[in-house]
Amino acid sequence: MPGICLVKSILVPSCECGLTYSDKWPPDVRRHRREHDEYLHGVPGKPLSDDEVLDPNPECRIIVVRPNSSRRQHDRVERVASRANSEMRYDFGIYHTCEREAHHQFGMHPLLAWRDNRAIGFLLLERRSHVGEWRWADECPEGIPLIETSARWTIGFVWVLRKFRRQGVARRMLSNASRFCGTQIADLCWYWPLSDDGEALAKSVCIGGRIWVAK
């Protein structure tokens, strides 16, 4: 005897925050309320006692998390990275607490930008050893020739909360990242390929009509 469906179909609306949910199911409603708040205002989080602060400016406080930082630091980074990836939608995500071996292998150092106890920016520093050069005058090819070198500091990912874009947050994170690495912004590599926004940011901070790219 064929089964009978006793559950009426429920309209499942989608929101600008990217969440698909049922507005008839209380757990879904609560989840949407939380995620929509993070979409608009950033991931909430108070300062931790072991924060390593690079820039204490309350308008855009920058901290860095090292591979050997505490588990709670990495858990917080993972939550912010998940929020950032909800827009980029990379298949394997950006940063996971459990991947400690990769953190050490690639020298991952996430930088978080905070304002009013909300994470509003995320930048991932990595060390990559396959490096190439791309000049603006050249047509951007599918694959830039890369050579193997000693590992170089690379911008693996940059994200800023929508309401704070074009307010200097990304530049502040890049400036702190370059000081942390002991190099100029123009000498940092960028993980290739770049998104349109990533390319625009790289061009705005690099001089000489070229950037270094890495894999």
Q: How confident is the model at residue 139 (pLDDT cuts 50, 70, 90)?
A: low
Q: Count of CB atoms within 10 A of residue 140's CB?
A: 11
Contacts of 199 (CB under 8 A, 6+ apart): none
pLDDT at residue number 168: 95
Cα three-residue angle 113-214-120, rounded to 5 degrees? 10
Rounded to whole angstroms, how far apart are CA atoms 53 and 140? 37
- Note the pLDDT tens digit of each residue in 5-19: 333 445 455 677 666
- Note the pLDDT tens digit of each residue in 22-47: 777 777 778 777 777 777 889 999 99
Give percent above pLDDT 90 in the chain.
59
Indicate the domain borders of the chain: 9-41, 46-214
Length of the chain as a residue count? 215
Is residue 142 pLDDT above 90, yes or no?
Answer: no
Is residue 2 pLDDT above 60, yes or no?
Answer: no
- Greatest C-alpha distance within the chain: 74
pLDDT at residue number 8: 41
User: Across the chain, what does the average pLDDT equal?
Assistant: 86
- Selection from 141, 146, 135, 149 nearest residue 191 by Cα: 146
Q: How far is CA 27 from CA 13, 18, 23, 135, 212, in A?
A: 15, 17, 9, 51, 47
* Residue 173 structure tokens: 């994170």
Q: What is the third-level CATH fold of 46-214?
A: Aminopeptidase (3.40.630)
